[in-house]
Chains A and B, each alone.
Chain A
Amino acid sequence: MRLQYPDTIRVVRVPCTGKVDIIHILRSFEKGADGVYVVGCMEGDCRFNNGNIRAKKRVAQAKKILDTIGIGGERVQMFNLSSAEGPKFAQYAVEMTDKIKELGANPIKKAFKKKAA
């Protein structure tokens, strides 16, 4: 569709969002990501039945953990759409990028800088 969306996003493709585990989300932040979002199929439409439901619960759990450790649960989010909805994909990409820009950089990046210095 040749739609534009921010180039600050790194896409990791998985066969189903059910494959995404909490550790994948946490490691991304550990390595300096400012935000992580999981994009899955509409609820009820998962071809593997409930992969996107598992992802939803894991994202919720990751939010809790990130809140507790001071990174902020708002930096992780899940979106649901159909794979036919190209414009929505671009829209969510923009939405998430704007939200993360507002929240600012990952707080542990300061720690990296200090270590390097």
Chain B
Amino acid sequence: MIVAQKKPMEEIIEEVKGYNKILIAGCNECVTVCEAGGKKEVQVLASALRMYFMNQGKEIKIDEVTLERQCDHEYLEEIRNIIDQYDAVLSLACGVGVQFMAEKYFTTPILPGVNTCFLGATEERGFWTERCQACGQCILARTGGICPVSRCAKRLLNGPCGGSTKGKCEIDSNVDCAWQLIIDRLKALGRLEQDYEKLTPIKDWSTDRAGGPRKVVREDVRI
């Protein structure tokens, strides 16, 4: 899922202080799981902002809504009837949601409330780590399910670099050497011969962000 972090309160206050009627819009998917922009976080942020502005003596209306997702037209349409009541929307969705909402309601300023970080998984509650860089050419079949593009500091595709110490990468002793993990896994799977010994051809990076903003088109499902 997309992992995001709440923006510092001071930054959010700076963003919204010019407006008098704000809608805080959360998202029920990824940002709920990483506890940055779900219904609970919307409530807490709304309450905190109301108190801050009350304390400053400023009259401000802050309403709350949590949409199922902010990256689909159907869900964003749900606020069409109410959005004109507000001067601005503070969206706690990931960067995708903020932008999609801004495209749909382009006469209303849509402000981000979280910093979108990476594609990752919940290793344990409160601890999320990166796993995927969306390179568009998945090679996990050949690397025992461990991605060298996102987890190797040098993005090497044919084995370790020799800089690792005790299975940890040379950039930081807390970061695992991805290739150590891959080799251990392939050994456990008994696939060192088939997968590790075979050379990976030069990667086509045009499907990565390096090739420019990407799109996926499925003619078979477009009406």
- Name A's B-contacting residues (CB within 8 A): 21-23, 26-27, 29-30, 65, 68-71, 107-108, 111, 114
Tell me if B's interface is mostly helix, strand, loop or mixed.
helix
What residues on B are CB-neighbors of A68 within 8 Å? 9-10, 48, 52
Chain B 52-70 interface 0/1 with A at a Cβ cutoff of 8 Å (1 = within): 1011110000000000000
Tell me if A's interface is mostly helix, strand, loop or mixed.
helix
Contact B51 A114 (CB under 8 A): no
What residues on A are CB-neighbors of B43 within 8 Å? 23
B49-97 at interface with A (beta carbon < 8 Å): 49-52, 54-57
Q: Which of A21, A23, A69 contacts B51 (CB 8 A)?
A: A69
A114 to B9 Cα, complex, angstroms: 26
3 closest A-B pairs by CB: A69-B52, A26-B47, A111-B54
Query: How many residues on chain B are close to A (CB under 8 Å)?
Result: 15
A27 to B50 Cα, complex, angstroms: 10
Q: B155 at interface (Cβ–Cβ under 8 A)?
A: no
Contact A69 B9 (CB under 8 A): yes
- Name B's A-contacting residues (CB within 8 A): 9-10, 40, 43-44, 47-52, 54-57
What residues on A are CB-neighbors of B9 within 8 Å? 65, 68-69
Contact A23 B55 (CB under 8 A): no
Q: Which of B44, B50, B52 contacts A70 (CB 8 A)?
A: B52
A22 to B44 Cα, complex, angstroms: 7
A23 to B10 Cα, complex, angstroms: 19
Most chain B CB within 10 A, of A21, A29, A65, A69, is at A69
What residues on A are CB-neighbors of B40 within 8 Å? 21-23
Nearest Cβ in chain B — how far from A28, in angstroms? 10
Q: A21-B40, A68-B10, A69-B9 are in contact. Are A26 and B48 (CB under 8 A)?
A: yes
Q: A26-B44, A26-B47, A30-B50 are in contact. Are A108 and B10 (CB under 8 A)?
A: no
Nearest Cβ in chain B — how far from A115, in angstroms? 8
- For this complex, 16 residue pairs linking A to B, each with C-beta atoms less than 8 Å apart, are A21-B40, A23-B40, A23-B43, A26-B44, A29-B51, A30-B51, A65-B48, A68-B10, A69-B49, A69-B52, A69-B55, A70-B51, A71-B55, A107-B55, A108-B54, A108-B55
Contact B47 A27 (CB under 8 A): yes
What residues on B are CB-neighbors of A71 within 8 Å? 51, 55
A21 to B39 Cα, complex, angstroms: 13
* A115 (CB) vs chain B CBs: closest residue: B59
What residues on B are CB-neighbors of A29 within 8 Å? 51
Nearest Cβ in chain B — how far from A60, in angstroms? 13
What residues on A are CB-neighbors of B49 within 8 Å? 69
What residues on A are CB-neighbors of B55 within 8 Å? 69-71, 107-108, 111
* A65 (CB) vs chain B CBs: closest residue: B48
A108 to B51 Cα, complex, angstroms: 7
